[in-house]
Structure 1
């Protein structure tokens, strides 16, 4: 919105379906189009790599699955929560770390391959 000034109150934005994402300095329109806020840098660079599921994962209601993380301990990891699952980092033996996904719904959930769970 370069060259444009707009003051939108939450009374307007919420009913219109507009969401502010202050983590990366964008606002998201109802059709999931993201617009960068003026004068704001993203918190993560363009070199951030996504952590995605390698295969389809089926998680029973209230159950957990674990998968090994391939990150160095010095690297930062940002997790992405889903509507029906919560990610957690679990320490293993030595430097090993695992990503644990917990199904918080009351039904079995199927997470498709390539679902982004972090970055």
Structure 2
């Protein structure tokens, strides 16, 4: 990289002998390069640091036993007690495609327990001594890929993913308790009047003269209505009015023609009856 002093202590980049990937920002004022995952790399090293061996002073932490983690569940492991101080080392953490790490607790400012959440659809076995946590000297970088710092944006995205895929009963119980506490502090949606607490049962008086229909069910009321309609039909048929073909009416109003009447005698005609003859009209 060729840099020229311009003015007011501002440096201008004339050119580089390497390619800069997309998303990498150069901070020439502080001589650092910021990667997309917010990891800063020093561009200028001191003369003493240039001769140091890369990777010296790295401390690895991980589980001491094999962890069998079912899908959507999590397991925790404890880190070693002897850890480098924060003045000389930075904490980096790494996950896999199936396991998402989370620092569950701290002890004296240092991570003490780490939780591994299985976000896959099958059982995952975590081998012992998995390099999940790495203490790197300040100003240095991890030798392997996949490590992020605890204050990086990538680590926060991992926590969101672990929270959405986890089925931790303790976490759900804590959320339920928090929701109930929040709900108890909220004002009611509608006003609820206060009623006096009942102190006993009220007895019906013996001389209760209320209407019997008020105590009938729907089926009993419908049965009583059908019975009333059938009784009214019977009363209408027995009131003496003509119903259907009454023989008394037929014999009195419509007399039958006598077939045995003598020849030449015209039977009596009813009122309004028309007589048909063979004679022409006069």
1:21-76: CA deviations, max 9, x gaps?
Answer: 98586xxxxxxxxxxxx8578xx962120113322211110111111122568534
The reply on whether 1:89 has 2:89 as its aligned counterpart is no
Residue matched to 2:116: 101
Taking structure 2 as the reference length, the TM-score comes to: 0.27
Unaligned runs of 5+ residues in structure 2 are: 1-16, 23-35, 135-282
- Work out the CA distance in 1 between the residues paired with 2:19 and 2:133: 32
Q: CA RMSD in A?
A: 3.6
Q: 1:52 aligns with which of 47, 52, 62?
A: 62
Q: How does 1:1-119 map to 2 (within 5 A)?
A: 5-7=17-19, 23=39, 46-71=56-81, 74-75=85-86, 76-91=90-105, 95=108, 97-119=112-134
Pick closer, same or farther for the CA change 1:6–1:54 going to 2, 3 Å: same
- Work out the CA distance in 2 between the residues paired with 1:72 and 1:89: 17
- Work out the CA distance in 2 between the residues paired with 1:68 and 1:112: 15
- Work out the CA distance in 2 between the residues paired with 1:65 and 1:78: 19
- Work out the CA distance in 1 between the residues paired with 2:57 and 2:20: 32
Report the number of matched residues. Answer: 92
Taking structure 1 as the reference length, the TM-score comes to: 0.56
Displacement after TM superposition at 1:114 (Å): 2.4
Alpha carbons 2:62, 2:79 under 8 Å: kept: no
Alpha carbons 2:63, 2:78 under 8 Å: kept: no
Q: Kindly report structure 1 stretches of 4+ aligned residues shifted beyond 6 Å.
A: none
Alpha carbons 2:99, 2:117 under 8 Å: kept: yes
